[in-house]
Amino acid sequence: LLSLKPILHSTILSPGGIWQQFSCPEKVQMSLFTAEFLRNANEHLRILENELPAFRFTPMNSLFLADNEEKANAMVQNHKMQTDLGAKVKLLNNDELQLMFPFMRFGDILLGSLGSENEGVFDGWQLLSAFREKNITLGVQYIKAKVTGFLYEWNNDLSPARVLSEREQWKHKSLRRLVVDLIFIEPQVTDCAPRAMYSYLFINCAGAWSGEVAEMAGFGLGEEIMSVPIPVVARKRYAFIFHCPDGPSLDMPYLFDPSGVWCRREGLGHLYMCGKNPSWIVFKLVSYSYNATTYQEEDSQIDHSNLDVDYDYFDTKIWPVLAARVPSFEKLKVCSPSVTKSPRFQSLLHGC
């Protein structure tokens, strides 16, 4: 399993949520499977007679809103697909939304999609730790190192193939060795040459950096199918924690506003977590198309080269939307921000 930057792992930085309101059937099925897995975590992740690691799964309904006819129609179509696959999702018109969530304003909303089961939030770091501890008991060995490249071996002694250009030799080679730099080992070793690790199978689990690892294996740099890169790149998103003593409590859903702003309750002390996704991400939940221009404009305003937090982003992009949707959020106070089978080689799998 290849993870390029364990310190910046997306699982650690992610807010951690699960829902089934997707336009892609595979995502709905994966989400339902995950919900069932978490429901039986006591069986899957328990180590002998030890206590189950507490990853704090909190049930929480997810509410998606549509503010125009196009999104509403797509929401209706996807609702049928979701329910056919077993998702517990119901549609609410404007009056039903106002009756169920009187602390919100729905003047611009035509339709809502509310999950009623198998949805909630969890601590991604604690869940990842539970997986790690269980894996170790099953014989998995963890090596803290940085992937720096791959080495190839000829499939057989094909002399004619050896005179081909490097961009064409991939047809006659297989991935057999992974090059790693053991920079994360304690005590830290300096001026140490990278070492090669042999394996029958490599699985690319570098998350947002999967495209970078795939490029090390030659994807996007060769001919024919190897000329196609893995289309996964790291993108920074912000998540903010704020306090609002007059805000809604247990009846607050995991809200996804049509603008891309999302908000959820964090515990029981009137703390909330919020953020904003580019418009196309939210629209993809209810449709198979999106406005690429709008996405590029919004995404270009974020510096993806670091994990620095832009505090003005909350004041200009998030808070106005939250205050308009939930009037009590006009008095909120920000507490703390946080940033949140290969087609060619049978021995390399991309888990993106």
| Domain ranges within the chain, ordered by starting residue | 17-122, 143-226, 237-351
Q: In the prediction, which pLDDT does 349 show?
A: 47
3-class secondary structure, 117: coil
153 - beta bridge partners? Answer: 174
d(CA 232, CA 252) in angstroms, rounded, equals 33
Instruction: Check if the beta carbon of residue 53 is closer than 8 Å to that of residue 38.
Output: no
d(CA 40, CA 44) in angstroms, rounded, equals 6
If we measure between CA atoms, which residue out of 156, 234, 180, 210 comes closest to residue 348? 210
160 Cβ contact partners less than 8 Å away, ≥ 6 residues apart: none
Residue 141, classified by CB atoms within 10 Å of its CB into exposed (0-12), middle (13-18) or buried (19+), is exposed
Asked if the bond preceding 187 is cis, omega within 30° of 0, the reply is yes
Q: In the prediction, which pLDDT does 350 show?
A: 46
| pTM for this prediction | 0.76
Q: In the prediction, which pLDDT does 93 show?
A: 96
Per the listing, tokens 């200009």 go with: 316
110 Cβ contact partners less than 8 Å away, ≥ 6 residues apart: 66, 67, 68, 69, 71, 72, 93, 94
d(CA 343, CA 308) in angstroms, rounded, equals 36
Task: For residue range 298-333, list pLDDT tens digits in order.
Answer: 666 777 777 777 888 888 889 999 999 999 998 887
349 - beta bridge partners? Answer: 203
Q: In the prediction, which pLDDT does 3 show?
A: 53
Residue 271, classified by CB atoms within 10 Å of its CB into exposed (0-12), middle (13-18) or buried (19+), is middle
Rg (CA), the chain: 23
CA 57 to chain centre: 17
d(CA 27, CA 31) in angstroms, rounded, equals 6
Contacts made by residues 6-10, CB under 8 angstroms, sequence distance 24+: 6/144, 6/184, 8/209, 8/307, 9/128, 9/207, 10/207, 10/208
Token reading at 263 = 């908000």
Q: In the prediction, which pLDDT does 223 show?
A: 76
Q: In the prediction, which pLDDT does 323 show?
A: 93
Q: In the prediction, which pLDDT does 283 show?
A: 44
Q: In the prediction, which pLDDT does 94 show?
A: 95
Instruction: Check if the beta carbon of residue 326 is closer than 8 Å to that of residue 97.
Output: no
If we measure between CA atoms, which residue out of 288, 10, 217, 215 comes closest to residue 127? 10
Low-confidence ranges of the chain (pLDDT < 50): 7, 159, 161, 163-164, 181-187, 281-293, 337-345, 348-350, 352
